[in-house]
């Protein structure tokens, strides 16, 4: 369980900072992070970090795929956690 918590901490931190990096790159017209990469990180467990960064940095908030997709991933992950740890 301890390693699972560490994993979630690392993946959420990575998603948070990658979203920040992408926001800065967008503002400076530099090379961007692919949306697919952000969704993969979210699906891999970094959904809360990505969602927080979206709200804090106002990044990808005009994209319905992110504003609906990331919360849907969070809901699915919470449902999975509830299912596996309900006993």
What's the chain's average pLDDT?
Answer: 96
Instruction: Judge contact between 46 and 14, C-beta under 8 A.
Output: yes
State the pLDDT at residue 81: 92
Residue 85 clears pLDDT 90, i.e. is over it = no
Contact yes or no for 82/52 (Cβ under 8 A): no
Average pLDDT value for residue range 23-44: 96
- Is pLDDT of 45 > 70? yes
């Amino acid at each position: 369980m301890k390693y699972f918590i560490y994993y979630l901490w690392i993946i959420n931190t990575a998603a948070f900072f990658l979203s920040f990096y992408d926001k800065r790159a967008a503002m400076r017209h530099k090379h961007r992070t692919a949306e697919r990469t952000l969704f993969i990180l979210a699906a891999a467990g970094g959904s809360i970090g990505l969602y927080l960064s979206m709200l804090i940095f106002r990044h990808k908030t005009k994209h319905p795929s992110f504003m609906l997709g990331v919360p849907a991933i969070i809901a699915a992950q919470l449902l999975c956690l509830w299912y596996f740890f309900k006993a």
